[in-house]
Homo-oligomer: A and B are copies of this chain.
């Protein structure tokens, strides 16, 4: 099995972050499709990767860093639909144009693939197409969970649920540094930054978590779970 290793030839690896680098492999799109090799590429913190409405030329896989995708209304209101961490693929809803904007949360390394190439691979291989179907389905599941969160949960439940989600995706250690600002969290949870901040303070006061320096949190998972209770 060609466990892609060469991928991060892209110079610096800020080994500062946790010693994880989990299954960046996965490489779902490529299973049984070795001719689909991604090209390494990098984006700086806060750099736009693609914009809503632009032609969808590439599909991306996060290698290192983090990306957010969002939609905006004309008056500036923003809704983040997802955060993409190492191993995640994004930008692959097959239409001619992107329906969201993607931006790097931090300095980020990705592998890029030509959309047409992937579509060609899909139409030639049921296995590849099924993997794309599976990935789209996973995204759909996530979007529907978010829908329930936004439509029917209180601010406290949203924040608690968010913290647990991030924890799981970052290794489920219960202690981590949030890779996004309060604004990003607010725009993901359909709240304001003030409400997010107050809710975090309240959760800390209730003993559901501990904080250090704004971004670092340590979850008391049992208590948080009780807050979410579903």
Which residues from B are CB-within-8-Å of A181?
Answer: none
| A167-212, CB < 8 A from B | 187-190
Count of A interface residues, CB-CB < 8 Å: 46
Whether B94 pairs with A148 at a CB distance below 8 angstroms is no
CB distance from A174 to the nearest CB of B (A): 24
In whole angstroms, what is the CA distance A91 to B141 when docked?
Answer: 12
Whether B136 pairs with A81 at a CB distance below 8 angstroms is no
Whether A93 pairs with B147 at a CB distance below 8 angstroms is no
Q: Which of B75, B127, B151 contacts A150, CB < 8 Å?
A: B151
Q: Which of B74, B95, B139 contacts A230, CB < 8 Å?
A: B74
Which residues from B are CB-within-8-Å of A147?
Answer: 71, 79, 81, 143, 146-147, 150
Which residues from B are CB-within-8-Å of A189?
Answer: 151
| A18-43, CB < 8 A from B | none
| A63-87, CB < 8 A from B | 71, 73-75, 77-79, 81
Whether A111 is near chain B, meaning CB under 8 Å from some CB there, is: no
Whether A117 is near chain B, meaning CB under 8 Å from some CB there, is: no
CB distance from A123 to the nearest CB of B (A): 5
Whether A105 is near chain B, meaning CB under 8 Å from some CB there, is: no
Offer 10 A-B interface pairs, CB within 8 angstroms, sorted by A. A73-B153, A77-B152, A95-B137, A122-B130, A123-B130, A124-B126, A126-B129, A130-B132, A133-B136, A143-B144
Q: 5 closest pairs, A vs B, by CB?
A: A151-B190, A129-B129, A143-B143, A150-B150, A136-B136
